[in-house]
Structure 1
Amino acid sequence: MEITVLAIAGSFLSGLATVFGILPILSGKKVSPVMQDVLLGFSAGIMLSASFFSLLNPAIEMANNIFENHFSIFIVSIGLLTGAVVFLIADKFIPEDYFIRIYENSDSKALKKMWLFILAITIHNFPEGMSSSLGFLTGDVGKGISLATGIGIQNIPEGLAVALALYLNNFSKKDIFLITLLTGIVEPIGGVVAVLLFSISHYILPVGLSFAAGAMLFVVSKEMIPQTHKKGFETQATFGLMFGFVVMMVLDNLFG
């Protein structure tokens, strides 16, 4: 029970960190395009690092203890690919970068369809919430703390991206705060779903960890990295990604 509570709390706190991203907008400070790409690259680096060190490695170790070695890597691979395919299907219906395309489009009427906006962000944040919880379900509290902390850190520039999109389309500061908060609340929902699904049996947990890793890798490769290369700041964004990767790797080493 204690691990379950920690898992849900970890996903809640990491999702809540999203609102810190709106502080520059609320204070009236401008964020340059190059800094936007660096921060998005930083987020991508944390997600990549978390996928390897905090999700796939524990999934492989757990699967090796449960199944035969050759079968265990097959199980983890299936989970990884399933996570990517599920979010590919979701992306076909509502692309994760919908909000980016909206704020680049001057049509404010499209932006007012807030249910579609929030659902688009949900697709992006849901696997992160799952990951925050699953880190604790491995039984290693330190690893859970490092994963939840890393995802929380990378949620800050994501919150900034959402807030900036709304700000550029003349939303009030109150609406910016509330909508950004809603996108962060999606993560504990993902955390609760992960706890309900993958705490049923220890046989299922390696699949859950690799599923979350596959979903995160899909989002990073298909949406985040290409987005950072559109404005000519790909070098700066790449170093942002490298720094984010190192930060998450250090967190995993310190707490894991």
Structure 2
Amino acid sequence: MTTLVSVLSVTTVAGLATGLGALPVFFRARVTHRVYDAALGLAAGLMVAASVFGLVIPGMEEGTLRAVMAGVLLGGGALLGGNYLIPHLHAEYREWFAEGGATADDAAVMEPPAEDSLVEPDEGTEGSGAAGEGPTDEEKGILAERESSLRKALLIGGAITLHNAPEGLAIGVAFASGLNEVALLLAVVIGLQNVPDGFAFAVPMAETGMSNLRVVWYTTLSGVVPQVVASVFGYSLVGLGSGLFPLSSGFAAGAMLAVVFRELIPSSHGHGHADAATGAFLVGFVLLVVVDAVVVV
């Protein structure tokens, strides 16, 4: 019988793989937009295949089609609802886009500060405040708001939770239902997917001027924390009733699919590298099938 300790251990290992994706920040000059888009495509292919083969099909084998499809709709709806209600910053390569109530100032704080942003105006030149007096009280207030580390943490944490929680939920649900092979398959796939996912998170984070070591540390936490918490929730949820797996598996699958089509695919297209992203998507999908066959055998 699978214990909660086993669930925590497996999910933690899968989450730690996110940190591997941040290692290229040490060579950030070599990171190209094509590589970034391809990484997102690879992650999308893995997640789509995992949703179908690791969650939807096993859910239908354990329960009814109606229950699984209801779960898919509920999971997708919950992700979209959270995306609308939870203020967060959505990263696209070296840019940040505010969503869910986040503002343009919130996105601006993630950009590296300009070297001359606080140059004092010379006497006789136009500028804010009198010559030599520095920024006005209003400008100081804006700068203080932009430098709020708590605000940054909340906004980034909202995006991380929306993206990674469904994956941890899927592992916990599978383990709680006694489908250990399915759970291990999901853990392997999610671990593989977390590498490009971590890369996608680390690149814009590194552009804020944060040190490389901190980027790697925060990127690793971004995979471990929400996935572990969600896995415990999923494990506990199914434990409340043996018949909840079909609905829960559908819910996790729907949330993961919503992440793919709401975030990963749009972020990997429109920059002139759609072919690279599409090719990587297919590679990710095929890789899941291969891993599935190895785990089952």
Question: Fold conserved (TM > 0.5)?
Answer: yes
Secondary structure, in 3 states, of the residue corresponding to 2:95?
helix
Is the 2:36–2:93 Cα contact (8 Å) retained in structure 1?
Answer: no
Which residue, 183, 204, 207 being the options, matches 2:247?
A: 207
Secondary structure, in 3 states, of the residue corresponding to 1:98?
strand
Which residue, 193, 206, 227 being the options, matches 1:154?
A: 193
Secondary structure, in 3 states, of the residue corresponding to 1:253?
helix
More helix by share: 1
Secondary structure, in 3 states, of the residue corresponding to 1:203?
helix
Is the 1:102–1:111 Cα contact (8 Å) retained in structure 2?
Answer: no
Is the 2:175–2:235 Cα contact (8 Å) retained in structure 1?
Answer: no
CA displacement at 1:235 relative to structure 2: 1.1
Which residue, 242, 250, 257 being the options, matches 1:217?
A: 257
CA 1:253–1:97 in 2, change beyond 3 Å: closer, same or farther? farther
- Please list, as runs of the form range in 1=range in 2, the aligned pairs for 1:174-193 lying within 5 A after superposition: 174-184=213-223, 185-193=225-233
Is the 1:118–1:182 Cα contact (8 Å) retained in structure 2?
Answer: no
Is the 2:39–2:200 Cα contact (8 Å) retained in structure 1?
Answer: no
Distance 1:239 1:79 in 2: 30
Q: Greater shift after overlay, 93-102 or 177-186?
A: 93-102
The corresponding residue for 1:55 is 55
Aligned length: 248
Matched, 1:73 2:113: no
5+ residue gaps, structure 1: 64-71
Matched, 1:243 2:279: no
Distance 2:221 2:154 in 1: 11
Distance 2:158 2:195 in 1: 19
Q: Rg: which structure is higher?
A: 2
Amino acid at match of 2:7: A
Is the 2:23–2:216 Cα contact (8 Å) retained in structure 1?
Answer: no
CA displacement at 1:28 relative to structure 2: 5.0
Distance 2:93 2:147 in 1: 10
Amino acid at match of 2:211: S
CA displacement at 1:167 relative to structure 2: 0.9
Amino acid at match of 1:250: V
How well do the aligned residues superpose, as a CA RMSD in angstroms? 2.1
CA displacement at 1:165 relative to structure 2: 1.0
5+ residue gaps, structure 2: 97-106, 112-145
Is the 1:134–1:209 Cα contact (8 Å) retained in structure 2?
Answer: yes
User: Could you list the runs of 4 or more consecutive aligned residues of structure 1 that deviate by over 6 angstroms after TM superposition?
Assistant: none
